[in-house]
Amino acid sequence: MAVRKLNLALQGGGAHGAFTWGVLDRLLEEPDLAFEGVSGTSAGAMNAVVLASGWQQGGREGARELLARFWEQVSLHAIPEPPVVLSANGGAPTLAGLMLQISHYVSPYDMNPLDINPLRGLVERLVDFEQLRAGSPFSLFIAATDVQTGKIRLFREQELDTEHLLASACLPNLHQAIEVDGRSYWDGGFSGNPAIYPLIFETDCNDVLVILLQPLLRDSTPSSASAIQERVSEFGFQTTFLREMRAISHIQQEVCRVPVSFGLFERRMRRLCMHLIETDELLATLGRATKYDTRLHFLESLKYRGRQKADDWLVQHAGAIGRRSSYNMELFL
């Protein structure tokens, strides 16, 4: 059986990362699909590292099992809420919404002076970083943002530990900055959500599959204060990705104007095949506070929707892997 290789770019989005869990769970069922490089930011970084660690421990089934364990244990730290069904109105959990509002006015250095983060213990229990550093099955590119410079920092598989992963998911209104090698870092979503360029220039695979947690297009203009704030927040975590994709699209367009490519860079860009799995209509309607809703029934509903979207993508576009882009990159221009 011929193996088809993909690079993965996993966007961040808090609890909505369970949607990516579902996508990965479905992709891992395909015996002829393999991954060469994985770029991840925030929740996408968590998924990337758990995917790699699980694969290292037990192949694709080991990856599916460890991803399930990770998200199930995330749910153990959920904020108690009345039962809520995932619905089109995306009603924000009451306590999570309240905490989100408070975080805009109270510093985490005051609200959480000990910087207690349940993810730290969870990641340390599930991921054997020493083993992963010694021989990760994929190239890993974990994005964080340097607080002082605003530049992206990509942590590689040979150096990864718990602090690097927490740095990628450090929301500054909830957690104190993570210090690595004397530098302070915040969530990678501010500088690359997710980063695409390392997958193009630091791997041999020509196919990049981007798994998004935010919609690329909104049909209406927000008018309420809360809706405006939601959209502003989306811009903050989507702009760098859109700019990077626009640059890639523009370069590909220019390269294809020339009949023959002699340079390595030009040939690489000509062969590049881009693929996207976007959120479904329902997930796109959910408010920002639901990114903090880690109750198991909610996470499992997102996983189910991710599996559905991945299945649809495989039916429609699996044949494009290694041959052509399945997404019209000119839409980013």
Proportion of the chain above pLDDT 90, given as a percent: 69
Give the pLDDT score at 113.
80
Of residues 295, 285, 209, the one with CA closest to residue 15? 295
**Strand 139-146 to strand 183-187: parallel, antiparallel, or no bridges (unpaired)?**
antiparallel
Asked whether 93 and 290 are in contact (CB, 8 A), the reply is yes
Per the structure block, which two tokens stand in for 226? 């809360």
pLDDT 10s digits, 199-230:
999 999 999 999 999 989 888 898 888 788 88
- Residues 142 and 218: their CA atoms lie apart, in Å, by 28
Give the pLDDT score at 92.
47
CA distances from 55 to 19, 131, 273 (A): 19, 12, 25
Question: Which positions of the chain have pLDDT values less than 50?
Answer: 83-92
Q: E-strand spans in 42-135?
A: none
